[in-house]
Structure 1
């Protein structure tokens, strides 16, 4: 399961461009927590901790705990905006989540046994069709990644979603076909005579 991050926040009493600029001058980022049939909660979060969480990876796929004036909210970041010139975070939208919620998230794909893959050892090339797979997952059990094993893959093989062992309670959003995640293709110059023989 993806491990999340924690942020301390304060309620924002003022909203709008002027208030947002004033917050940023104080080293804070305007943000909002919404969803779960509760009113939207405008908050301010610290720039440093938020930027660290963003650059650590998984910002949009990890459950976070945002403590607002002593009250903890379980949330997932649904969107964030960066300044067009400085690339600093200027706003974050958080969605409240509970144990019964299902979320649609892009889960990264990891490939196992590339160094022992028969197709790659013969000169084939791993052609990744999908670096992530959009999946419906339990909110409190978001997988860090899914794994595709290349141990028996040969040149010309296609690796489909049906060959992947998916975590419990998780399924891809594409259900009408057995889509391809990757293929092992011959190199542009073709296989050498040794490899082909």
Structure 2
């Protein structure tokens, strides 16, 4: 959840492009605090400290406390601009937070349990489709990230927004059930699946008898001669028909 960190800043006495350039030459980054029905407050932040905070990650989802002239301002960064050539911060905006305020933030997606995914074990690759989620929550309940558990995903399966449990009091701003993560099949996987299916079909067809074919009838065994009977002598003639007894 949200953690409040301190950030050093000083009030900026003058505004405008010339004053902003002077602040940058002095090793400071011009900025402004606005919102909560109060007038904008021009400030300057130490260049080195601001760079460290940005490079540390989660800068736009971290609540800061800035003290100016004995007064503390609870803020959250809303935007920062980088020099297009040298890539260092040249301006930063902070939103002043009121008590119990609700804000919209973009929170990064954190993929977990990829090493136990059956799809990954079979050679698949984790493909993060959505890198951050747009959420609405109170300033005291800002998640640092949202966990996306892919531990049970198979190859070609996906994890959607409806599969993820958001923290209590946090609402997604997405209008549909977006895809978050998919397991991409390895190279040649589709061809292997087709070849395996063809082999299985061929093996099943060879083993099955033709439809409607009758089983071959068993040959009737020859009658065995009676026990003790003698075979007729060679050359013996059968008795003539009509022979009468005298």
Relative to the length of structure 2, the TM-score reads: 0.73
- Counterpart position of 2:30: 30
Structure of greater relative contact order (alpha carbons < 8 Å, 6+ residues apart): 1
Q: How far, CA to CA, are the matches of 2:155 and 2:85 in structure 1?
A: 45
Q: How far, CA to CA, are the matches of 1:16 and 1:40 in structure 2?
A: 14
Q: How far, CA to CA, are the matches of 2:16 and 2:93 in structure 1?
A: 15
- Counterpart position of 1:181: 180
- Counterpart position of 1:92: 92
Greater C-alpha radius of gyration? 2
Higher strand share: 1
Q: How far, CA to CA, are the matches of 2:38 and 2:120 in structure 1?
A: 52
Q: How far, CA to CA, are the matches of 1:45 and 1:158 in structure 2?
A: 43
Number of aligned positions between the proteins: 194
Q: How far, CA to CA, are the matches of 1:56 and 1:4 in structure 2?
A: 15
Q: Specify every segment of 5 or more residues in structure 2 that has no aligned partner in the other structure, as ranges.
A: 198-246
CA contact (8 A) 1:97 1:139 kept: yes
Q: Specify every segment of 5 or more residues in structure 1 that has no aligned partner in the other structure, as ranges.
A: none
Measure how far apart 1:2 and its partner are: 3.6
**Alignment root-mean-square deviation, CA:** 1.8
Measure how far apart 1:4 and its partner are: 4.3
Q: How far, CA to CA, are the matches of 1:15 and 1:76 in structure 2?
A: 22
Measure how far apart 1:158 and its partner are: 1.6
Q: How far, CA to CA, are the matches of 2:166 and 2:121 in structure 1?
A: 27
Relative to the length of structure 1, the TM-score reads: 0.90
